[in-house]
């Protein structure tokens, strides 16, 4: 590998700024190194960010079956997203990277910059059926470096009972003005308006992006009038009591827990909460997050990519390709994306998902319009923009700075490569 130790250390720092935004918990790691060769038999190593799934789960059973079908044993290691990215970089430095690795999509560009991932095209993996915007989150200079296993994103859940009591038709919510008017009516009716996550982590940026992009904001110009308008909207909601002050500490999980109390009209959250929504005990619906002037706002793409780290023994790639192809086949995507609460990355499988569960239709539409956080050439620049952005959100909502001043400081920090 041509990478220097400095490149790997910088990449570790970059990954440390990114965390998984889906509903994945923490976990532990056991060391993993490849054994065997490219011939049949042997052991192939696989890392994923799903420590919540044990050996009896459908996901882990599929991983094992894909190894068996390829004539090998798969040794699976699960850990949280940040840990996985950091350990991947260190393993590559030591020459014992796993054969296959499932990573959060913003991390792909960092691993590519460190030189430890193969292009899917070089391995003969076909990504032609993948939706372009979903694949784009794992592309560098137009070349994909992994195969997405699924995607998730954000929308607005709403409580039908709360809106009915306040005299609000959810179909009337078409832009920021109509949403704010709905929140005002809900508060006047004695209920609570909207809950979201504005925490000082990647989760906060992930939740802010639909409003930022919905105003026409550009991540390379955080302090433009459009970006300021989005932050001013959130600040207005907090100041007027339409959103609780604890959004500053809310993760997406705790924000969901607030919505699940039944007191809130709206909750910004993701596909992964559908199962919990069905258990909430009140009728709910889902609408797109509105853009400032109407229509659906662009939302960020979440989800993971199946990637193939560079190996000293290139003969291993033939079996690795079989494992990746198995994991991302249409039949297996249909089953695993249901288990993982993901929208499939191909139109054909999405159609099957909606046929089986019509409630997924708004999410399929949202994913179709979603953007990768590192897309548009941002790549590894994204973390150096995201961190100042979530810091600005915190400063403005806490009252420490005005939205303009907070985003001015964020842009200055971003220009310097971080805060």
| Region for 21 from its dihedrals, namely left if φ exceeds 0, alpha if ψ lies in -120 to 50, beta otherwise | alpha
What would the pLDDT profile of 46-104 be if each residue is shown by its tens digit? 999 999 899 999 999 999 999 999 999 999 999 987 788 889 888 888 888 999 999 98
Mean pLDDT check: name the lowest of 26-35, 283-292, 391-400. 26-35
Overall pTM surpassing 0.85 (yes/no): no
The confidence score (pLDDT) of residue 66 equals 98
What is the rounded average pLDDT of the residues 311-328?
A: 96
d(CA 138, CA 374): 8
The confidence score (pLDDT) of residue 74 equals 98
Residue 129 has pLDDT above 90, yes or no: yes
Classify the C-alpha dihedral 111-114-118-120 as positive or negative.
Answer: positive
Could you tell me which residues come within 8 angstroms of residue 375 by beta carbon, excluding any fewer than 6 positions away?
A: 133, 136, 137, 139
> Among residues 234, 231, 164, which one has the least CA distance to residue 194?
234
d(CA 271, CA 393): 24
d(CA 283, CA 262): 10
What would the pLDDT profile of 359-401 be if each residue is shown by its tens digit? 889 899 889 889 989 888 888 899 899 999 999 999 999 999 9
What would the pLDDT profile of 206-240 be if each residue is shown by its tens digit? 999 999 999 999 999 999 999 999 999 999 999 99
What is the rounded average pLDDT of the residues 158-177?
A: 98
d(CA 136, CA 97): 24
Element (H, E) at 268: strand 264-270
d(CA 365, CA 253): 23
The confidence score (pLDDT) of residue 8 equals 45
In order of their start, the domains of the chain are 5-151+303-368 (3.40.190.10), 154-299+378-415 (3.40.190.10)
Please list the residues that pair with 302 across neighbouring strands: 152
The confidence score (pLDDT) of residue 14 equals 54
Task: State phi, psi for 101 to the nearest 5 degrees.
Answer: -145, 130
């Amino acid at each position: 590998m041509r990478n220097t130790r400095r490149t790997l250390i910088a990449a570790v720092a970059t990954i440390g700024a990114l965390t998984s935004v889906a509903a994945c918990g923490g976990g532990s790691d056991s060391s993993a190194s490849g054994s065997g060769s490219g011939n049949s038999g042997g052991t192939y190593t696989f890392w994923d960010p799903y420590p919540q799934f044990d050996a009896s789960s459908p996901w882990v059973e599929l991983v094992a079956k894909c190894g068996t079908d390829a004539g090998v044993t798969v040794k699976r290691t699960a850990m949280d997203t940040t840990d996985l990215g950091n350990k991947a970089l260190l393993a590559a430095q030591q020459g014992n990277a796993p054969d296959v690795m499932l990573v959060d999509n913003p991390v792909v560009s960092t691993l590519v910059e460190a030189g430890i991932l193969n292009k899917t095209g070089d391995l003969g993996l076909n990504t032609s059926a993948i939706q372009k915007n979903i694949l784009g989150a794992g592309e560098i200079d137009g070349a994909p470096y992994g195969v997405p296993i699924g995607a998730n994103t954000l929308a607005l859940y709403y409580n039908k009972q709360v809106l009915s009591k306040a005299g609000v038709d959810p179909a009337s919510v078409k832009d920021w003005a109509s949403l704010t008017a709905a929140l005002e009516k809900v508060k006047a009716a004695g209920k609570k308006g909207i809950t979201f996550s504005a925490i000082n982590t990647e989760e906060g940026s992930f939740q802010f992006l639909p409003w930022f992009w919905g105003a026409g904001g550009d991540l390379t110009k955080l302090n433009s009038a459009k970006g300021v308008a989005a932050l001013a909207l959130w600040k207005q909601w907090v100041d007027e009591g339409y959103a609780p002050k604890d959004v500053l500490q809310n993760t997406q999980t705790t924000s969901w827990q607030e919505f699940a109390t039944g007191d809130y009209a709206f909750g910004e959250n993701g596909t992964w909460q559908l199962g919990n929504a069905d258990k909430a005990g009140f009728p709910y619906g889902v609408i797109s997050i509105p853009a400032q002037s109407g229509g659906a706002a662009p939302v960020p793409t979440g989800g993971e990519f199946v990637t193939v780290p560079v190996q000293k023994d290139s003969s291993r790639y033939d079996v690795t390709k079989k494992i990746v192809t198995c994991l991302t086949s249409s039949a297996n995507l249909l089953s695993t994306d249901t288990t993982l609460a993901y929208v499939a990355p191909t139109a054909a499988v999405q159609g099957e998902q909606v046929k089986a569960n019509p409630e997924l239709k708004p999410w399929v539409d949202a994913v179709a319009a979603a953007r990768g956080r590192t897309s548009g050439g941002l790549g590894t620049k994204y973390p150096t923009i995201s961190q100042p952005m979530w810091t600005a959100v915190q400063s403005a909502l806490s009252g420490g700075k005005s939205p303009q001043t907070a985003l001015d400081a964020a842009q200055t920090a971003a220009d310097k490569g971080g805060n």
